[in-house]
Amino acid sequence: MKSERVAVVVGTRPEIIKLAPVIHSLGGRALVVHTGQHFDDNMSRSFLDQLRLGQPDLHLAIGGETRGAQIGMATQAIEAFLLDAQPAAIVVQGDTNSGVAGALAANSARIPLVHVEAGMRSYDRAMPEEHNRVLIDVLADMCLVPHETNAAALRHEGIAESRIRVTGSTLRDAIDIIMPTPTERTELIAARGVETNRFVLATIHRAENADSDANLGAILRELAAIPLPVVLPLHPRTRGRALEFGLDDELAALQVCEPIGYREFISLASEAALLVSDSGGVQEEACIVKRPVVIVRNSTERPEILGTFAHLVAAGSAIGDKVRELLERLPAVHEQLAALPYPYGDHAAEKVVQAIDELSARA
Ligand code: UDP
């Protein structure tokens, strides 16, 4: 008898968020593998809890290792797990080392591979994430993309049409699981000492920003000059680098905190005047909560939202210029965004499970 089980690999905060709805839709069929790439309670456990995921079926501990070691250790362990469990398919998400490991393990154990959030491209070869996502798409039997732009990118790279499905993004389903009521949101932001539309929410963690003394210093100084309180939950990597670069004074000028749980983060994002971020997920969340996001990066994988929800700026004075310009016409900006549809589809998790079933029926 063919197995009904489906292995799902998570390792980092965004994978837990975006695969939680898929795990829920799979129900008892899901076999969850957590690589432990993110391991702090506030980067992993709190997300498993808030998104109502139980204990993973396999929990590894690759966190803190080099990229090569992470991919190697996780590939070996996931391959052994797959050979033993023989699931009908394995699902990986996005562009992480955990995702690459899941893809390589699927390939060597000959288990059909599904890539959720496939076809994203920044065309920036300096980003390890860009190499990870290209590798996973090449190996995947089914590339599930959030937007038609991603399908076009895959076709351009010669991926066969039979391996591509436009499902939309599962992030919206994740937010449906955790979104607090307006009253809860008001309470959550009040506990941070901020008021609706009177603060900025910022996150910075990409290597191009966090690992550069000059860029990280410039970003923190630009944030500090914004004429509203700036809440900055610090990713562990950014905290480490900021302290190493001696940027204590810059941090002191901001409302810095530990990474925060998803319910609180979404509440802050929903009520902020605007967002400043280099995160992928936050760009999509901006489209859900209808707030503008200033993206501090050299490139973006989401060109379809540039000029509406998102504004791409380099690390430096362009941050403050763009933030001030948006703040000057904030009510009109919010009104314009409120009228725009979410560009990344709906009920994506259900469509992901349909695609998994289609693939396993074919195998
Ligand atoms: N996030 C969170 N708490 C925080 C910072 C971010 O819950 O303190 C969430 C955010 O809503 C988004 C996800 O974490 O959905 C993004 O993770 P990250 O920026 O680490 O990864 P990326 O999306 O860039 O891959």
Contact 282, 300 (CB under 8 A): no
Q: Are residues 121 and 37 in the same domain?
A: yes
Q: Are residues 192 and 72 in the same domain?
A: no
Distance (angstroms) between ligand 1 centre and the Cα of 205 equals 9
Expressed as residue numbers, the domain containing 240 is 179-338
In a domain, 277, yes or no: yes
Question: Token pair 């690589």 is at which residue?
Answer: 35
What pLDDT score does 362 carry? 83
* Cα–Cα–Cα angle for 51, 54, 59, rounded to 5 degrees: 110
Quote the tokens at residue 95: 């562009």
Q: Are residues 183 and 300 in the same domain?
A: yes
The question of whether 156 is a catalytic residue gets the answer no
Q: Pairing state of beta strands 113-116 and 58-59?
A: unpaired
Q: What's the rounded Cα separation, in Å, for the pair 204 and 34?
A: 24
Q: Are residues 163 and 194 in the same domain?
A: no
Q: Are residues 164 and 15 in the same domain?
A: yes
Q: Are residues 75 and 190 in the same domain?
A: no
pLDDT greater than 80 at residue 2: no
Helix (H) or strand (E) holding 318: helix 317-328
* Cα–Cα–Cα angle for 34, 38, 44, rounded to 5 degrees: 75
- Ligand 1 binding pocket mutation candidate from 132, 265, 278, 284 (most atoms within 8 A of CB): 265
Q: How many CA atoms lie less than 13 Å away from 321 in the CB half-sphere?
A: 9
Our answer on whether the CB atom of 355 is closer than 6 Å to any ligand 1 atom is no
Q: Are residues 229 and 134 in the same domain?
A: no
Q: Are residues 128 and 59 in the same domain?
A: yes
In a domain, 283, yes or no: yes
Which carries the bigger pLDDT value, residue 1 or residue 169?
169
Q: How many CA atoms lie less than 13 Å away from 139 in the CB half-sphere?
A: 29
Q: Which ligand 1 atom lies nearest to the CA of residue 269?
A: 11
What pLDDT score does 157 carry? 97
Out of 38, 115, 147, 205, pick the active-site residue.
205
Q: Are residues 105 and 199 in the same domain?
A: no
Q: What's the rounded Cα separation, in Å, for the pair 179 and 205?
A: 24
Among residues 219, 324, 200, the alpha carbon closest in space to that of 274 is found at 200
CATH number of the domain that residue 26 is part of: 3.40.50.2000
279-297 pLDDT tens trace? 999 999 999 999 999 999 9
Distance (angstroms) between ligand 1 centre and the Cα of 226 equals 22
* Ordered DSSP codes for 335-346: HHHHTSPPTT-S
What pLDDT score does 1 carry? 62
In a domain, 278, yes or no: yes
Q: Are residues 74 and 218 in the same domain?
A: no
Nearest CA owner, ligand 1 atom 15: 281
In a domain, 250, yes or no: yes
In a domain, 1, yes or no: no
> Using the 8-state DSSP alphabet, how is residue 30 labeled?
E
In a domain, 220, yes or no: yes
Q: Are residues 188 and 311 in the same domain?
A: yes
- Ligand 1 binding pocket mutation candidate from 49, 179, 255, 279 (most atoms within 8 A of CB): 279
Our answer on whether the CB atom of 99 is closer than 6 Å to any ligand 1 atom is no
Our answer on whether the CB atom of 13 is closer than 6 Å to any ligand 1 atom is yes
Contact 153, 119 (CB under 8 A): yes
The residues facing 313 across adjacent strands are: 296
Kindly report the pTM of this predicted structure: 0.96
Q: Which ligand 1 atom lies nearest to the CA of residue 259?
A: 8
Our answer on whether the CB atom of 343 is closer than 6 Å to any ligand 1 atom is no
The residues facing 256 across adjacent strands are: 232
Spatial neighbors of 320 by CB under 8 A, at least 6 apart, are 222, 225, 226
Count of domains forming the chain: 2
Q: Which ligand 1 atom lies nearest to the CA of residue 95?
A: 25
Three-class secondary structure of residue 8 per DSSP? strand
Q: Which ligand 1 atom lies nearest to the CA of residue 203?
A: 5
**To the nearest whole number, what is the mean pLDDT of the chain?**
96
Distance (angstroms) between ligand 1 centre and the Cα of 160 equals 32
* Ordered DSSP codes for 271-314: HSSEEEE--HHHHHHHHHHT--EEEESS--S-GGGBTTTEEEE-
* Ordered DSSP codes for 137-148: HHH-SEEEESSH
What pLDDT score does 306 carry? 97
Distance (angstroms) between ligand 1 centre and the Cα of 341 equals 22
Spatial neighbors of 259 by CB under 8 A, at least 6 apart, are 13, 40, 42, 43, 233, 234, 235, 236
195-249 pLDDT tens trace? 999 999 999 999 999 999 999 999 999 999 999 999 999 999 999 999 999 999 9
98-135 pLDDT tens trace? 999 999 999 999 999 999 999 999 999 999 999 999 99
Quote the tokens at residue 175: 């937010």
Give the length of the chain: 363
Q: Are residues 18 and 125 in the same domain?
A: yes
Distance (angstroms) between ligand 1 centre and the Cα of 295 equals 14
In a domain, 304, yes or no: yes
Distance (angstroms) between ligand 1 centre and the Cα of 45 equals 14
Contact 114, 90 (CB under 8 A): yes
